Amino acid sequence: MIGTIFLLFFSISSSSYTYASLTLCRPDQRDALLEFKSEFNDEGIQGAWTSFCVTSSPKRKSWENNTDCCYWDGITCDANSGVVIGVDLSSSCLHGHFKPDSSLFRLQYLRSLNLAYNDFNASSIPTRINELMGLQRLNLSYTSFSGEIPTEILHLTKLVSLDLSSIFMYSQTLSSPGKPFLSQLAQNLTNLRQLDLSHVNLSSEMPQMMISNLTSLRSIRLHGCNLFGRFPRLSPTIRSIDLSAIHT
Ligand SMILES: *[C@@H]1O[C@H](CO)[C@@H](O)[C@H](O)[C@H]1NC(C)=O
Ligand SMILES: *[C@@H]1O[C@H](CO)[C@@H](O)[C@H](O)[C@H]1NC(C)=O
Ligand SMILES: *[C@@H]1O[C@H](CO)[C@@H](O)[C@H](O)[C@H]1NC(C)=O
Ligand SMILES: *[C@@H]1O[C@H](CO)[C@@H](O)[C@H](O)[C@H]1NC(C)=O
Ligand SMILES: *[C@@H]1O[C@H](CO)[C@@H](O)[C@H](O)[C@H]1NC(C)=O
Ligand SMILES: *[C@@H]1O[C@H](CO)[C@@H](O)[C@H](O)[C@H]1NC(C)=O
């Protein structure tokens, strides 16, 4: 521990700027998180959502400006640069509109984002999600986002895990001449190991090539996605599969 602090002190003092204290968190990252926190109400979560909301200890309680953000509940930083690489605010009683220009998008180094089990009051998933280009894990399950899935999600080519299950979304591609969402996904998100789109209304034919093209895929859940057509050929790498409710 002392060794770590010493090393940290050494690396900071040897760089071109000096810090008043040994704070790991980068100030721009701290401010982005504090602003994100203030974008939501603490009160007013209602109905079924209260059961997902652990009111006794919302993680954001520890988010105070006078403390190092790298030690806040739900936050992971890069140990060298102090940039935020992980945000886990699942079941955190977040309630309200998700701003299209949320300060969350200033966390450019994020690799993992989990906002599952919060109530975003039927907001759209912001198209600026594609600015979080380093995202490897994205979990928006049970968040009451609604509307079209923005195709910008398909720009996140580093994703290894994507969970959009049980949000009130649909894919727009049926009404446009483009390829079905799943085919586009298979072309772009080739690193996926886990995919869960259960109860997202994809309303399209099951693309036959899709599952065999995603060679890293280990787990896929497309339960209740309103898919139809032939059951696809399975890749031998898949360990877990739920394609129930495909109408043939
Ligand atoms: C946090 O505190 C610093 C230093 O007092 C200040 O410059 C910064 O604006 C504060 N951030 C927020 C989001 O209030
Ligand atoms: C949620 O949306 C409803 C309907 O648009 C609106 O009346 C309500 O104020 C919103 N609540 C919050 C917390 O944003
Ligand atoms: C696939 O990703 C590339 C690079 O980010 C992007 O330009 C392209 O539009 C994406 N394809 C789809 C179908 O979104
Ligand atoms: C998404 O987050 C929820 C809540 O933390 C968790 O139960 C679920 O397993 C996560 N999904 C994936 C694919 O990791
Ligand atoms: C699957 O891969 C083949 C060969 O690489 C490619 O021609 C095809 O377009 C891919 N299909 C999808 C749905 O991405
Ligand atoms: C799913 O989407 C299709 C096409 O947009 C629509 O016709 C259908 O009613 C939707 N199904 C549900 C359950 O919302």
Tokens at 102, concatenated? 């949320």
Say if ligand 5 is within 6 A of residue 209 CB: yes
Tell me, in angstroms, the distance from the centre of ligand 5 to residue 136's CA: 22
Q: How large a percentage of the chain has pLDDT more than 90?
A: 53
Confidence bin at 237 (pLDDT 50/70/90): confident
Q: Which atom of ligand 6 is nearest to the CA of 201?
A: 1
Q: What would the mean pLDDT of 150-157 be, rounded to a whole number?
A: 95
- SS3 at position 14: helix
Give me the residues paired with residue 220 across strands: 195, 241
Tell me, in angstroms, the distance from the centre of ligand 6 to residue 174's CA: 10
The 10s digit of each residue's pLDDT in 4-63 is: 444 444 444 444 344 445 789 999 999 999 999 999 876 656 666 666 776 666 788 889
pLDDT of residue 10: 45
Q: 89 or 1: whose pLDDT is higher?
A: 89
pLDDT of residue 56: 61
Question: Domains of the chain by range and CATH?
Answer: 30-242 (3.80.10.10)
**Which pTM was predicted?**
0.86
Say if ligand 1 is within 6 A of residue 34 CB: yes
Q: 179 or 112: whose pLDDT is higher?
A: 112
Q: Which atom of ligand 2 is nearest to the CA of 95?
A: 13
Tell me, in angstroms, the distance from the centre of ligand 3 to residue 185's CA: 9
Say if ligand 1 is within 6 A of residue 65 CB: yes
The 10s digit of each residue's pLDDT in 197-230 is: 999 998 888 887 777 778 899 999 999 998 888 7
The 10s digit of each residue's pLDDT in 81-103 is: 999 999 999 988 888 999 999 99
Return all residues near 219 (Cβ < 8 A) that are at least 6 apart.
193, 194, 195, 196, 238, 239, 240, 241
